[in-house]
Structure formats: structure tokens, C-alpha cells
């Protein structure tokens, strides 16, 4: 019994050691999450079409000339002569149709399309997209779209309205059929290029080293900060497809430059962990003078002859008034309503702000803690970081969005 318990305990310790050894580092990412493989890419498609069947929310044909000409051209192709007729329908809308063709899409597969109004249509709800050729960047037709559109709606009354989504933008689920494939034979490749999404020399070299350690050969080599070339071993099972499947699961720790990204419009600051600050002293404070005018209206007492014009002194020629405050008393005992000014002036010198000294080589966390201790908000922090950069004490790149 003791031997069995001891054996199970040793087996558990060994398993824990293996799992701990195989666990990746916290900052490591899969290669497939930081790179793109050559040939595995999407392609953009675009087309121009008509949406019909709208409930009086389509384009005005007298103002949207392109809709009118497209409608006439479509009817003529169907054998209907509408050139000399006065078209007054408002159930048709001209739209732009866009889609993304996935990598290695085969003929007959379906993809989603997005539809957006071009003219003055108010809503595409309930419409039907007619046959629309989808063109690629080379001008060839790769898909054909048609189907019922799903759009938002607008419900309005005399005093209120409700809008759901964008009524002039819609989507057709599985609305396009792929008619042409993009010729690319990945299985015949002997070498494949791996493109880094964030080009960096250190990251490119680490990716090559991880792949070479996995293959036990010098099959990968970095060509530039954004490209790593991999040569498929001659006896590798599965060829380049099997190679890509295996290496995309490998872990690598990406490197990143010290950078501070600032969005001044929204007051957002993003700083990388490699941002360092040289020795610098920071003080932040503003002189704020606030003048507030709150005039008050002084009303006469009840049962008084309010609003009586004051009498004129025959000697001085001025209104003969008496009393004090905001109520004027006429010689006849009447009182007037008057406005009494009230002014409040506040001066804030922010004397509670202190001068903070940041030693050389402080980290991101120490920088944030110091600025927060000064009571600095995001927008003031943006000005401070720009001033530190101008002083040459910020060892990072500032990018303003």
C-alpha cells in the first residue's frame, strides 16, 4: 500500500513538472497571432446594383439621375422600353454592394454582402437586391449578389421618433455566390514568406529562431524587419501546408519599441512597458479665476403699489426715490421691482500642487504613480508627456492620433 501511494505521488510530481516546463511564458504569443502567411489573405469586392420593392422610401428619380438611368437600362435588357415614359416611382434605390472574398474560396460557396444607399433613399427596409456582379481590383467578376436586405427602421409620430440601426445601410446574409476562384496553389510551394503584422527586427529574429529550434535545422531566416522566409524540408510530411499548421502554434515573445500613443481628442494615453524617463522635475498647476454673475430680482412687498413710476424732483430733475436694496419707493408710497446684481469672484492658484522629481530610468508604473500623486488628469498628463519629450527626458516615441 505504501509503495503504491509513493508511486502515485512520484507520478503526480513528474506530471506537474512536465506541465510547468511546457507552459509558455506569460508574454509569449502564438506565431499565427503575430504574423500573416503568404497567400493566405482576403480580397475586397465591390459592385453597383439596385434595390427594389421599397415602400415609398427609395430614391427620387428626378433628383437621382443615376438611379433613373440604371432603372431604364435594366428594363431595356429585360425587353421593356421605358425610355420615353415618365418614371415617377420611388420604390427603387441605387446602392453600392461590398463584400470580402475569403482566402481559398471555391466556386459555389456563399459569402455575406453589405448594401449602402447612394441617393436620397430614406430606408432600405423590405427591399430586394437584384443581381449585382461583384468586381475585384483587377476588374474581373468574382461573385454575384442577390437577395433580401436586412436593414434598420424608423418609426415616427407627431412628437417622437425611434430609429434602429442605420436604415440606409443593410446586409444580405449569404447573399453572394462565388463564381471565380483566385488561382494560388499553396501545396506546390517550396518556400513560404511569413509577414509580421508589427515589423520589428528583434521579433523577426525570434520567430526564425523558434522555427529553427522546432525543425532542428536552419530552415527559417529573417529577410527584413517584416519578413521571415521558411524553406520546407524535403522529407517534411504534409509539405508546406503541414509545415504552416505546425509552426503557427509555436510560441514567441514579440518585442515592441518604446512608444506613447496619445489621442488628444478623447484624452486617451497608451504607454508601452519599455517607456523610460530620465531624471526630471515635474510641476503642474494653473491659475484659475472664476467670475460668476447671479443677478437677483427684488420684489415689492404684498399689497404694495408695484410698478408705479417714481416721481420727478422738480428741483434736480431726477427720480425722487427712497429706501434701500432693490425696491424703489416713489413719493406716493409705491414700490418698483428691480434687478440687484450679485457677483462672486473665486481665485484658485492650485497651491496644493507640488514639484515632483522622477529619478533616471523610472518605469511606466512609477511614472503613472507620480503623475497621479500630483492629481494630474489625462489631458494635463498629455501636456506633461509632450513637455518631457521636448526636454529630451522621455526615452520613447510619441505618436499623436
* Cα–Cα dist 49/72, whole Å: 13
Q: Where are the alpha helices (DSSP H) in 44-133?
A: 65-77
pLDDT at 88: 81
- pLDDT tens-place string over residues 23-49: 344 468 899 899 999 888 899 999 999
Nearest CA-CA partner of 261 in 278, 275, 280: 275
Residue 230 pLDDT > 60: yes
Nearest CA-CA partner of 117 in 89, 135, 138, 93: 93
Strand partners, 129: 51, 147
pLDDT at 26: 47
Nearest CA-CA partner of 243 in 252, 258, 230: 230
- pLDDT tens-place string over residues 4-15: 444 344 343 343
Between residues 60 and 160, which one has the greater pLDDT? 60
Nearest CA-CA partner of 130 in 183, 40, 67, 191: 67
- State the residue for C-alpha cell 518556400: 191
Residue 203 pLDDT > 60: yes
Backbone angles phi, psi at 186, to 5 degrees: -75, -30
> For the ranges 44-48, 298-302, 377-381, which has the lowest average pLDDT?
298-302
- Number of Cβ within a 10 Å radius of residue 54: 23
Q: Do 260 and 275 contact (CB within 8 A), yes or no?
A: yes
Q: Do 243 and 383 contact (CB within 8 A), yes or no?
A: no
pLDDT at 14: 40
Nearest CA-CA partner of 282 in 222, 356, 225: 356
- pLDDT tens-place string over residues 65-117: 899 889 988 988 888 887 766 778 889 999 999 999 998 899 999 999 999 99
Looking at residue 167, the DSSP 8-state letter turns out to be T
pTM of the complete model? 0.63
Count of residues making up the chain: 401
Strand partners, 311: 320
Amino acid at each position: 500500500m505504501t509503495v503504491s501511494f509513493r508511486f502515485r505521488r512520484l507520478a503526480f510530481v513528474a506530471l506537474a513538472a512536465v506541465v510547468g516546463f511546457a507552459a509558455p511564458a506569460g508574454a509569449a504569443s502564438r506565431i499565427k497571432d503575430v504574423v500573416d502567411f503568404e497567400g493566405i489573405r482576403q480580397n475586397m469586392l465591390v459592385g453597383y446594383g439596385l434595390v427594389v420593392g421599397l415602400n415609398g422610401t427609395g430614391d427620387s428619380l428626378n433628383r437621382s439621375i443615376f438611379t433613373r438611368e440604371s432603372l431604364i437600362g435594366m428594363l431595356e435588357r429585360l425587353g421593356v422600353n421605358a425610355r420615353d415614359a415618365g418614371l415617377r416611382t420611388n420604390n427603387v434605390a441605387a446602392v453600392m454592394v461590398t463584400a470580402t472574398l475569403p482566402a481559398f474560396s471555391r466556386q459555389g460557396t456563399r459569402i455575406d454582402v453589405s448594401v449602402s444607399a447612394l441617393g436620397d433613399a430614406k430606408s432600405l427596409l423590405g427591399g430586394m437586391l437584384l443581381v449585382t456582379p461583384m468586381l475585384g481590383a483587377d476588374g474581373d467578376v468574382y461573385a454575384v449578389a442577390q437577395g433580401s436586405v436586412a436593414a434598420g427602421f424608423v418609426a415616427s409620430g407627431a412628437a417622437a421618433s425611434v430609429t434602429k440601426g442605420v436604415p440606409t445601410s443593410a446586409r444580405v446574409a449569404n447573399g453572394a455566390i462565388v463564381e471565380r476562384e483566385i488561382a494560388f496553389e499553396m501545396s506546390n510551394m517550396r518556400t513560404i514568406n511569413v509577414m509580421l503584422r508589427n515589423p520589428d527586427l528583434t521579433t523577426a529574429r525570434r520567430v526564425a529562431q523558434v522555427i529553427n529550434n522546432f525543425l532542428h535545422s536552419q530552415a527559417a531566416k529573417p529577410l527584413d524587419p517584416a519578413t521571415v522566409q521558411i524553406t520546407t524540408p524535403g522529407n517534411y510530411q504534409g509539405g508546406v501546408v503541414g509545415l504552416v499548421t505546425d509552426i503557427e502554434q509555436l510560441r514567441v515573445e514579440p518585442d515592441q519599441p518604446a512608444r506613447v500613443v496619445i489621442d488628444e481628442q478623447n484624452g486617451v494615453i497608451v504607454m508601452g512597458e519599455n517607456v523610460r524617463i530620465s531624471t526630471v522635475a515635474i510641476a503642474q498647476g494653473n491659475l484659475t479665476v472664476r467670475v460668476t454673475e447671479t443677478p437677483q430680482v427684488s420684489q415689492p412687498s404684498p399689497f404694495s403699489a408695484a410698478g408705479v413710476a417714481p416721481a420727478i424732483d422738480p428741483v434736480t430733475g431726477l427720480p425722487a426715490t427712497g429706501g434701500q436694496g432693490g425696491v424703489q419707493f416713489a413719493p406716493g408710497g409705491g414700490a418698483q421691482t428691480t434687478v440687484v446684481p450679485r457677483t462672486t469672484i473665486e481665485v484658485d492658484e492650485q497651491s496644493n500642487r507640488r514639484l515632483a522629481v522622477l529619478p533616471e530610468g523610472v518605469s511606466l508604473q512609477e511614472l503613472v504613480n507620480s503623475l497621479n500623486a500630483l492629481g494630474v488628469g489625462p489631458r494635463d498628463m498629455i501636456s506633461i508627456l509632450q513637455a518631457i519629450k521636448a526636454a529630451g527626458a522621455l526615452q520613447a516615441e510619441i505618436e499623436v492620433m
